[in-house]
Structure 1
Amino acid sequence: MEIIQVVGVGLIAAILILIVREQKPMFAFLLTAFTGIALFLMLIGKISSVIQVLEDLAVKSGINMIFLKTILKIIGIAYIAEFGAQIVRDAGQESIASKIELSGKILIMVMAIPIVSVIIETVVKMIPA
């Protein structure tokens, strides 16, 4: 029932932010950022258990761990970029949020190059000469 806790924290924070925003906008922004970080920390245990299951599956299936770690890094980049962009949007900086998202996409593309290379090499080997 973690979702009830997550929604509860979110609702309480939203109410506090609405109350505080008129008097202290900077404090409201800090409360928004802190709430996002707190929610993420509440779920870190779930994230680590998912990573453990994926690692176990990779070992059982014989997949090279480098590929799994790369994919996990790509997923991490996507989540961190989205989280950062949302916080910056909350501060009213849409332009910077867009740049964060673009940077995340570029980093994902760079991280994916080794995997794409292996896929292309595998396909080329399968084509009869």
Structure 2
Amino acid sequence: MDMIQIVGIGLISTILILIIKEQKPLFAFLLTVTTSVVIFLFLAGKIGTVITMLEDLAERSGVQIIYLKTVLKIIGIAYIAEMGAQVVRDAGQESIASKIEMAGKVLILVLAVPIIGIIIETVLKLLPA
């Protein structure tokens, strides 16, 4: 049922944007951004449920919560960067969209470095001296 609501919001917004775009392009863009934010907020509750379940699973399995939080931050950065880049692309600013994507990739790399370091240390401990 949630997907039907999201598609409905998207279709209604698209029709309104196509109607408004000819006379008021700024309002059409604002409607695009507003629709994106509404859909994101609609999904935020679902994302919260998944995060809670993953935290419980990590706690029961003995995985340090810091690793899970880092992975969740990485996933969040990827989604937010993608959404932001798409909105900027909709406004016709391809170069800014590519910079947003690059910034997302750099921030993901920064967060991933400690995990990569731990993986390398683990592999080195497994190798014979």
TM-score, normalized by length of structure 2?
A: 0.99
Specify the SS of the correspondent of 2:97. Answer: helix
Offset at residue 128 of structure 1 (A): 1.1
Same amino acid, percent of matched pairs: 67
Q: Which runs of 5+ in 2 are unaligned?
A: none
Moved over 4 A (4+): none
Which amino acid in 2 is paired with 1:110?
Answer: V
Distance in 2 of aligned mates of 1:2 and 1:20: 27
Aligned residue-pair number = 129
Specify the SS of the correspondent of 1:128. Answer: coil
Q: Show CA shifts across 1:2-52 (max 9, x none).
A: 000000000000000000000000000000000000001111110000001
1:38 lines up with 2:38 in the alignment? yes
Distance in 2 of aligned mates of 1:118 and 1:29: 44
In structure 2, the partner of 1:4 is: 4
In structure 1, the partner of 2:122 is: 122
Structure-to-structure mapping, 1:90-129, within 5 angstroms: 90-129=90-129
Specify the SS of the correspondent of 1:28. Answer: helix
TM-score, normalized by length of structure 1?
A: 0.99
Q: Which runs of 5+ in 1 are unaligned?
A: none
Which amino acid in 2 is paired with 1:58?
Answer: A
Specify the SS of the correspondent of 2:63. Answer: coil
